[in-house]
Each structure stands twice: as structure tokens, then as C-alpha cells.
Structure 1
Amino acid sequence: MSKKVFHKLSFLFLLGTLVSPSFGAEESKEVKEIPEVVVSADRIEEPLKEVTSQVTVITKEELEKKNFIFLTDVLRTLPQLYIRANGGPGQTAGAILPRGVKSAHTLVLIDGFKINDPSSGQVDLGSLTVDDIERIEIIEGPQSTLYGSEAVAGVINIITKKGKGRPKIGLYLEGGSYGTYKPSFELSGELKNIDFRLNTFYYYTDGFSAYRYGKEKDGFKNSFASAKIGLNLLPKVRFEFLGRYNYGRIEYDGWDEDAENLRKDYNYLVGAKLNLDLFEQFKQTFSIYKNYSQRKYYEPISWSPYTRYTPSTEGFSWENFLNLGKTYSLVFGLDFKREEVEMLSESSWGSSSYDKKREYTGIFLNNKLYLLENELLLTAGLRYDNYKNLGEKTTYRLGISYIIPKIDVKLKANYGTSFRVPTFDDLYYPIFSNPNLKPEESKGWDLGFEKTFLENKLILGGSVFYQRYKDLIQFDLQTWQPQNIGKAVIKGAEVYLTLKLTQNLSLKANYTYLDSEDRDKEKYLIYKPSHKAEATLEYSLKNLSVIADYVYTGERFANPLNTQKLKSYSLFNLSTNYSFNPKIKFYLKVENLFNANYEEVKDYGTPDRSFYAGIKFNY
């Protein structure tokens, strides 16, 4: 998009903030609060209305109504994200936020614990399911001030369920196209001062060829178990434990689509938190965790028939929340992280390997000031990170939101800086690495608004944003090494609305426009669609709900020189839920209803029209 067009979009956006109040002139002044809570935006639990960043929250109820199985199924329906999946379930998949150049610019957390792979910098989302998810929070824009490296374009925080109410058992049976079946089991509840949630499942699918034009099926097997246990030691002292284990067996296609390649993944995440709310004005949280993975690649007819990666991350955090009355609050604390990667690759002419470690310490603070009877909110954050052997980084972030009295229009703006350190592969991979790399850097701003009409039956909002990158790490074909040679600029706009049409019928719609440019090559960035839109229509009765989902993804380029373009496509999904009684629920789902022929990644397969059904028992 040219500067002229971008300026027009910005003008229309600003015009919308000025004109929109007139539509609600006759509505009631009494505004009902929306009981949404966001944990990750400022590292504390706070109402959504007190967050200046652009935040999307996907609740457990939405996940259950649409009957998603994998996290990628959820994220690919959002205009705020583009999923790059190298085939079907289990295949390597990454998420690119609108303001990011690549998936390594998105930090992914599970209950606040970082799970980005230090060898590649990204998170492989291909086997992550939604079984134990309470909600998903997506925070857009530079977030390094609170989270350090990787949070360049934003954060995806996955909040897992905890036990509530009387102890109960859940049994779920699901299955459908491509020989897919998934039995799962859940035990959760509360007993005096203890709450617990245990979950396990087995997933199997024959799958389809990961290579788009292949004929053989690439299957996927997945075993998973998780536990979350909370102990209320005192009225204001809580201890919480999280444990997750995942094993995946993935068949995939490589350079030779006929090769029977195999990958075996093992992963566990263990973490613990101690929350101390001893004083009303001062709260503390101590966290410790370890995320360990092992990936084994078997490629019998490739130049490297066996490769093993063993990345691990362990860390500690100390968070403090100080609330001084109704006008000022402060979040401050310390992060420590230690990363290690072991890599071994064997070939007919020998083996190559590396085994490296690194540590970093980060100190952060974020101020909030409430003025004009809480109608004006100012935020200012600062962070200092010290990476051994990679230097020091200081980032900052400023935010403001203002609710215009009488017309109830919320305006907000943010400006921030961020960075991402080189991955272990960038620095240490034998031959094809560069130990002299420095961190990537970015800065960006956004301006947004939100307005409610008709007693909260209609919510309309939008934003424009701009983000600039320098020192991007890119592979240089002249030196056959990664170099800090990249520059990029990403501009765009987002709009969304929620409309309650009747007591039983509701509509949600979102749209994202992107103009992303590789400044060095004067080309568009790859896998960044200029247009992406989503609409959900839901009809619900007491025991029945029907949801129709539509997702449109525009054209995008598949190579840096922009000589290969992937065509636009539309996906329609349907999901129906029926509750026989509070203990038994049945669902039927159709994905890709009109059998669209499309690609997310060049030459990789995607599913045809698919049917799935399931029944859920709760006792």
C-alpha cells in the first residue's frame, strides 16, 4: 500500500472516532461492564478496560462452542494472525502476528511460562491442543518492556483451566475424517483448600500428504497429560503447580516427497507459582519453571539421515504489584532465564554438533496513573536486559487511554521498542552460522478507539499501527551465513464489531489490512496477506447452538523476490452443539464446508472438506 492510501485509512479511522458518537446519542447513559479479565497484558490480573494495548481474548466457552481440537485451528480463524503450517495436524506450524516479520517475533506463554524454542526462536504450534485451556490472550505490538526478547510483535498467553466446584469426571470421544479419533479424560474440582485439574488424551489421524502433490498419507499420533494443582495455604497465600507432558510421532515430507520421513517429539513443562497477597496494597508472585524438549528426525534418503535437537529453558521470575490508592499503581520485578541446546546431526561423511548455554537477567517496571476520575489512564514502562555474550538492551513503552465523557468513546495509543536475540542455530549451527550476530531491533506505535451502542448490543472498534525493524537476521546466500542485513516496515489497520441481533442471534466480525515491506529488497514480506477477515454468526437456544464461521485470506507472496504468489481463499466452517442434559453434550462439525483448494505454505497440503463428531460426558 502506498503512503497516500495509508494516510487515507488513517484519516478514515480518525474520522470514525469523531463521527461514531452521534449514532449513540439517544442510548442510555448507564453502561454495563463487560466482565473480561486479562492477565498477561501488564503481567498482573486487571480488567480489560484498563489495558491500553490491543488485546483479543478467546474464552473457554468460545473454544467449546466451536469444538476446536488444535490451537492452530483457533488462531487461523483470527485476522490478527497468519498460520504457516507445513501440512496437517502435527506438522510444523508457526503463528505470525500482523506486526511481526516471522513467527519468531511472537512470544508464546503457558500460564506465564515462556515456551519459545531457543534453537529456532519460535514455538511449533502443530501439536498443541485446546483441551486444558481456560482462555487465550493475544496482545499486539512491541511487548519487550515487560517480557524481554521474542515479544517483538506481541504475545500469545495461554491460560490453563483450574479445578472449580465439586469433583467431577469428564469423558470425551471425538472422531472424523482422515481416520481421526481422540478419546480424552478429565478429573477436576475442589476439596477444602485444594483445587485440581488432571487431563489426558490420545490423538490419532491417518492424515494426508504433507507435500501438496504427494500420494502417501502422513499420519500423526499424540499422547498428552497435564495437571494443575492449587493449594490455598492461608487466606492470602496460594501455591500453584503446573505439569504438562507431550509425545508426538509425526510423518512428514522433506526434499523428496516420496521419502518416509519421521519425527519424534518429547516435551515437558513444569512450573510453580507462589502468590503472596499479605497486604491489600502490595502483592508478590514468585515463579519457577523448566521447559524441556527433544526432537528426533529420521530422513533415510537425505544427506543427514538422523538429527537430534534437545532444547531446554529454565527460569525464575519475581513480580510485585504496588497499588497506592485509586490514582497510581506500579508493577516491577526481575526475570532470570537459562537456555541450553544440544544438536547432533549424522551423515555418511561424519557428524556435526553443538552444545551451548546462555543466561540472561531482566529488570522491569511499569507505571500506571489514573486521572480525571479514571477516565484518563497513562502508562510508562522500562526494562533492562543483560545477555551474557550478547550485550545489554534497554526497552521502553508508553501508553494512554481516554474515555470521552458523555459519549463514552474510548481512545488509546501506544509506542514501544523491542528486540530479539539471535537463536542458537543462528549463532552455532555448524558451518551455516555467525557468532557475531547482534539482536534484531524494532519500534512501533498504534492508535485505536472503541465505542458501544444500544446498551452494549453493538461494540465497534479499530486501530491503525506502524512498526519498523532493523538488523533483521537473514540468511545471506553470498556468505552462506545469517547476517544482520534486514530492514522492514509494517503498516496496517484493524476493525472489529460485535452485534447482538436478537436474544438468540449474535454476530462478530473482524478485518485486518496489512502493508508490509522488505526495505532492502523493496519487496513485500512473505506470508503477510494484505487482507484478512473473519465473521462468526451464532444462534443459540437453551440446549442448542449453531455457529457459522467464515474466514477470508487474501493473496500473499511465498518467496522474498515476490515471484511466487499464493491465491486468496475463503473457508466456511459449521459447528452444532446439543446438550441432552447438563451431563451429556453432542457436537457435529464441518470444516472447509465448500471444499476450498488453498495453500498456507507453498507446496504444502491442506485439508479438504472434513466432518467431525464427538460426545462429552461429565459426572
Structure 2
Amino acid sequence: MNYKRYFISLLVSGALFAQENEESSNTTNPTQETTPTETRFITASRDERPPETLAANVTIIGPEQIARSSARNVAELVKYEAGVDVKKKLNTPNSFRVDVRGFGEVASANTLILVDGRKINAPDLSGMNLGTIPLNRVEKVEIYRGGRSVLYGDNATGGVINIITRKENPDNKKAHTLTLSAEVGSYEYYRLGASLEGFSDDLYYAFDSSFTESDGYHDNSSNRTKTIGFSVVSTEFENLELFVAGGKSESHYNIPGPRNGQRDSASYDGYYGDLREQYITITPKYSITDKVDLELQMNYREAETKYTYPKAWGPSPERYTSEDISLSPKLTIRDRWNNINNTFIVGLDHRYSKMEDYGPDKTRRSTGAYIYNSSAFLDDTLFLDLGYRREAVRMNLNNDENYDTNDLDAFSAGVTYNYADHSKVFLSYDRSFRTQRVDELGGINFNEALDPQITKTWQTGIKHQFNDQWTADLTLFHIKSDNEIFYDSTLPGVRSPGQNTSYGQTKRTGVELGAQFQATDNLSLYANYTYMDAELEKDSLSDDANDGNTIPGVPEKFANFGFSWDFIDRWNLNMNAHWNDDQYAESDYANNADKQDSFITVDAKVTYTWEWLSVYGGVNNIFDEEYNEFTSTNGEYTAPERNFVTGFVITHEF
């Protein structure tokens, strides 16, 4: 079957049918939300701004899109966005890798993930457990493409994704709301969730909990996750807002072996992982005047991981703990100087990380000071953004008196011109950095410090709203990195070939193209396309053996398209398709193995909403595509076949 032709014809027929319904009925859908005329974006400047004022390709995924999506977690939610490549290595909830602009297998160290501005990137190689963030508590997700070390320091070289949880406006005090949800699906999957939120005088509160379990698609791939979390916003004291949030999660997951194109072979029976983590964040924000804010964010996170795995380095089961503490004061001044609206931000980020495993304790300390200024000219249509950060990173990898210290600089500059409503052209430059993680040692014996990675990003683009229905955007970018840190399997090793290294030079050149079309009040369509030329340029360790090769694990092209259609009163059909070009298997820096085949998948979800009840059913991989979502030089991990999910959400106000 020609999937592309079938899907396009479905889009066209859906649009025609919706237009006929629109012409024959004067009633409106009571469940359809009104899109606000101005949406604020926080991540780009650590301050609220309209997206049209930002010198970058940015995306906001709002509450309506989240509710209608077939995504079960944040990683699945962002996978249909331009420039964002999402892979699920072991088909377990904690094995997602979110890659902004083509960093391949080291994407988790080059894509910064935030929750309400709090970094959740682990200080070690364990990655991020995105499966522990319940979608029912997410208000919106912001995606910033491009480096942002000026404001966030380490890890923000490819882009930043900020997950913003619901914090109701205290001026709009609603009743207390209880939400219950349940979901079941293929492979013995089920999820239960509950949340309670509301107001008590000048206090907004929210509590949530969830339990998820599945047998998994592969042999020995069952998983189980429990989460509990809370957030509180207090405005009881004059000019002071206090935000407190915390949570705890426990995950158990079995580890399947590579499938080599099959579902039930090469099982790693008996191999598993256990992850327990908890965090708390406290953020008081004091309005000194109506133009000056002082904010202090304090975060603490601790995690314990225990696992057995064929390639573990320590005693079995291997166990390690990590601790992460950060303190971030920030002063914001908004004023009009010489007839120019200006926002000036100055801040400090201090972070301490510690890891304990079978070897010596490893610690990392970083202290970074930054300034950031945004000025608006020509009646607030021309924006100039300038920023600078100086950060000192001190690492002790052997629990002795020897420290590796790096003093790093980050710069950013951007110009944006709003030539029409909801339309802009922009040009920006960013110099970002990343340092090695606490267990990312280099050299043949894994006992050497690695040079810091310096990444420079140039990007320019245009976003144009043709009319009330059509919007399109085009972004061109060029990324150049010196000393890019990754694991190179072509270098010699101790137990097997390979070592962590700082590769001499790499480059990424690409295009992001997107379009949105509001065909009728009831039907919206979108499409986006990403081209990425990711290349190894010059290496200083392997005698130039890989110079000119393609960076593995990065598709040269991928595209997404879909629609959301209120086809009958209270009924919505949401459908998304993803096409992924072929690519070299991860760790194949020599480019001497067969590429992973291209694939296309289509997912759909139908939702019925009636007052306090929402019922839905979804089908993933509708056309039963056989493909490998993740392939490495050690084997292939076959993606799930056609699978189903259904569930309901009950909301009660009191």
C-alpha cells in the first residue's frame, strides 16, 4: 500500500467533508477552546515574551494539543516537531532519547530538558527518565532550537525543551478539581492516574500520582513506574510569590537484548534496572517594584540506580547513586530608557553533582554568572538580544586532591524584526559549551579528563502568516563544534574496542520547514520537514580515518504531517504521520555497515468529550510498518507492530 498517497487522500477528503459540515451547520463545537491572541514563551530569555520577538525557531505545544495527542509521555509528544528526533532504544519508558538538531547517541548531553526551569539532565551517563512526568500535569511544552548556554550553561548546545506544569492564575480562582484517569492497551499496558488541584485563599495547590505497567513489546521488556508529585503557589505575602514543587518516582524495567529484526530472540533474561529518584524545588519571587523582580530557584535531586547488564563494569548487580544541588538567583529589570523598551537580566547558577559507584566518588562543581539584555526598537517591531556567560567547571574524578578546571565563555546575539502581525525574520549567533559527565572518562583506560566541547550555531529564518488560515516558517542553521564529546568505537579500548573522546571538529548544516493550515473552525492541518547534514570534519586521534563521514544515529531527512478534526459535535480525530530517512547505525563512525532502513508510521486517536467525561481510543502504527526505531553496531531493536490504547478521564469540580 502507498502510505503517503493514502494519507494525503485522507487529509483531502477530511478537509472537504469538514467544509461541507461547516457550511451546512451554524452551530459551534462547545469543546473547542479559543486560542489566545498572544502566547508567552519563557525558555528563550528566562522571561515571558511573545514568540514573534525571539531570534530562533521556537514551538509551543499547548494544553489543547496535549489533550488530543496520542502521546503517553513528553517524549512522544515532541516527536512530531521539526528538528526534533526521538528514539526509544529498549522500548521501555525510561529509554527515550530526545535529539534536537542531530547529536545522535550523545543527544541527552546536548539537549537540555527543563521542568519549570529546573534541569533534569542527569550529571552522569544514565540519561533522563521522561516517563515519570505525567502529561495530565503539563500545561505546555516549549521547544527552543539552537544553543542556549548563555542562560543555562552546560548541555544546552543543540536546543532546550522546557516542560511547564500547570500553575493557575490566582486572580482566576476556580473550584477544587479532582481528575481521575485510566488507560489500557496492547502488551498488557495499563496506567492509572489521579490529580487534585485548587485554591485555598491565596494558595494554589496541585497533587498528582500515577502507576504504569506493561509487559513490553519484546521478551524481557516489562516495566513498571510509580510517581507522586505536588506543586504549590502562594501569593499570601505582598509582592512575594512562592513556588514549591517536589516529587518521587520508582521504576523497574527489564532489559531486552538486540532483536536483529525479530521480536522474540536474544533475550537478556534476568537483566533488569531499578531507578528511584526524588526532587524538590523552591522558588521565591519578590517584586521589588512593578519593574524589578528578584527570583531565587533552589533545587535538590537524588537518584539511586541498580542494574544487571552483560556489559556492566562493576560487580553485579551494579549500583550507583547521584546527588544534584543547584542555586540560581536572578534579577530582572524591565523599563523604558530613551524611548526604548528594555529588559535586563543578571543571574548566577551554582550546581554541585556527586556520583558514588563501584569506583572512586566523582564530583562536579560549576558556577556561572550571566547577563542578558533585550531591547525593542521601532515601536516594538525590531528586537536586539545580547548575552554573555562566564562559567567555571571543576571536576574531581578520582576522589583525590586533583581537580580538572575549565573556565568557559558563552555568547549570544540575535536580531528579530516583526514586519507584520505574527510574522518575523531573524538572525542569531550562539556560542555554547558542554563538559564531560561525571562518569564520562576518556582514554584507553577511561581515566583521562576530556577537553570541553565548544559549539557555535548560526541560524536565520522567517515565519510568515499569510492570512488567518495559513502560517509557514523556514529556518536555516549551521552548527560547528570543536572537541565534540562522544564514544568512538573505532578507537582501541580495554575490554572491547572504543573509548570516550573529544573529536576534533564536527559540523551540522540543515533546514527546518513547517506549515500550519486552519482549513475550517473544526479542521487544522500541519506539516514539517527537516534536512540535516551531520558530518565528522577533522579528528586528532584516529589519524583522520573518519574525516568526512556522516555522524551515525542521525537521519539526513525526516518529516511529519497530520491533522486535528472535530468531525462531529464533541468528537475529535487526531492523526499524525512520521517519516524517517535511512541512517547509519549508532556508533558506526566508520560508516562501513548497512544503514538502518527508512520507515513511515501513522498514529491516530479519537476522543469524545462530554462535560466531566472524556473517552478516547487510539491506534499506533496503523499500517503495521515493520521497522527498527533504534539500530546500533551491537544489534537492532525492532519497533512495536500495530498496537492499541483506550482510556478515559473524569473531571469533577467541587
Task: Return the offset for 1:610.
Answer: 0.9
State the alpha-carbon separation in 2 of the partners of residues 409 and 545 from structure 1. 29
Are the aligned partners of 1:86 and 1:605 in contact in 2 as well (CA < 8 Å)? no
Equivalent position to 1:422, from 418, 422, 436: 436
Equivalent position to 1:364, from 349, 361, 370: 370
**Could you tell which deviates more after superposition, 88-97 or 465-474?**
88-97
Deviations 1:85-133 (A, max 9, x none): 2222324221111153531111111111111111127424355442321
Deviations 1:6-34 (A, max 9, x none): xxxxxxxxxxxxxxxxxxxxxxxxxx983
Unpaired runs of 5+ in structure 1?
A: 1-31, 210-215, 345-352
Equivalent position to 1:411, from 398, 414, 425: 425
Equivalent position to 1:168, from 170, 177, 181: 177
Equivalent position to 2:469, from 444, 457, 466: 457
Task: Return the offset for 1:384.
Answer: 0.5
Give, as a single letter, the amino acid of the residue that structure 2 aligns with 1:139.
Y
Deviations 1:411-441 (A, max 9, x none): 1011010110111112389x74243322111
Partner of 2:240: 237
Question: Are 2:539 and 1:513 aligned?
Answer: no
Structure 2-normalised TM-score? 0.84
Equivalent position to 1:185, from 194, 204, 215: 194
**Could you tell which deviates more after superposition, 382-391 or 78-87?**
78-87
Unpaired runs of 5+ in structure 2?
A: 1-34, 259-265, 395-403, 539-545
Task: Return the offset for 1:478.
Answer: 2.8
Task: Return the offset for 1:278.
Answer: 2.9
Task: Return the offset for 1:496.
Answer: 0.9
Partner of 1:90: 93
Are the aligned partners of 1:409 and 1:450 in contact in 2 as well (CA < 8 Å)? yes
Alignment of 1:592-603 (within 5 A): 592-602=621-631, 603=636
Partner of 1:220: 223
Partner of 2:558: 532
State the alpha-carbon separation in 1 of the partners of residues 318 and 436 from structure 2. 21
State the alpha-carbon separation in 2 of the partners of residues 568 and 592 from structure 1. 14
Task: Return the offset for 1:322.
Answer: 0.7
**Could you tell which deviates more after superposition, 192-201 or 502-511?**
502-511
Q: 1:68 to 1:275 in 2, by over 3 A?
A: same
Partner of 2:412: 397
Partner of 1:322: 333
Question: Are 2:448 and 1:435 aligned?
Answer: yes
Q: 1:428 to 1:131 in 2, by over 3 A?
A: farther
Are the aligned partners of 1:474 and 1:486 in contact in 2 as well (CA < 8 Å)? no
| 3-state DSSP of counterpart to 1:411 | strand
Partner of 1:51: 54
Partner of 2:205: 196
Deviations 1:160-200 (A, max 9, x none): 12356210111111101111111111101112101011110
State the alpha-carbon separation in 2 of the partners of residues 595 and 432 from structure 1. 45
Question: Are 2:307 and 1:297 aligned?
Answer: yes
Give, as a single letter, the amino acid of the residue that structure 2 aligns with 1:380.
L
State the alpha-carbon separation in 2 of the partners of residues 260 and 570 from structure 1. 33
Sequence identity, in percent?
Answer: 22
Are the aligned partners of 1:378 and 1:399 in contact in 2 as well (CA < 8 Å)? yes
Question: Are 2:160 and 1:155 aligned?
Answer: yes
Q: 1:464 to 1:359 in 2, by over 3 A?
A: same
| 3-state DSSP of counterpart to 2:440 | helix
Give, as a single letter, the amino acid of the residue that structure 2 aligns with 1:295.
T
Partner of 1:271: 281
Task: Return the offset for 1:298.
Answer: 2.4
State the alpha-carbon separation in 1 of the partners of residues 305 and 422 from structure 2. 52
Are the aligned partners of 1:253 and 1:260 in contact in 2 as well (CA < 8 Å)? no
Q: 1:302 to 1:39 in 2, by over 3 A?
A: closer
| 3-state DSSP of counterpart to 1:338 | strand
Are the aligned partners of 1:411 and 1:450 in contact in 2 as well (CA < 8 Å)? yes
Are the aligned partners of 2:70 and 2:604 in contact in 1 as well (CA < 8 Å)? no
**Could you tell which deviates more after superposition, 61-70 or 108-117?**
61-70
Q: CA RMSD in A?
A: 2.1
Equivalent position to 1:607, from 640, 643, 646: 640
Question: Are 2:175 and 1:142 aligned?
Answer: no
Give, as a single letter, the amino acid of the residue that structure 2 aligns with 1:400.
V
Task: Return the offset for 1:358.
Answer: 2.2
State the alpha-carbon separation in 2 of the partners of residues 319 and 308 from structure 1. 37
Are the aligned partners of 1:87 and 1:605 in contact in 2 as well (CA < 8 Å)? no
Equivalent position to 1:546, from 573, 583, 601: 573
Are the aligned partners of 1:90 and 1:248 in contact in 2 as well (CA < 8 Å)? no
Are the aligned partners of 2:92 and 2:221 in contact in 1 as well (CA < 8 Å)? no
Are the aligned partners of 2:516 and 2:525 in contact in 1 as well (CA < 8 Å)? yes
Give, as a single letter, the amino acid of the residue that structure 2 aligns with 1:468.
K
Partner of 2:71: 68
Partner of 1:285: 295
Are the aligned partners of 1:109 and 1:157 in contact in 2 as well (CA < 8 Å)? yes
Task: Return the offset for 1:486.
Answer: 3.8
Partner of 2:509: 491
| 3-state DSSP of counterpart to 2:439 | helix
Are the aligned partners of 1:119 and 1:425 in contact in 2 as well (CA < 8 Å)? yes
State the alpha-carbon separation in 2 of the partners of residues 253 and 67 from structure 1. 25
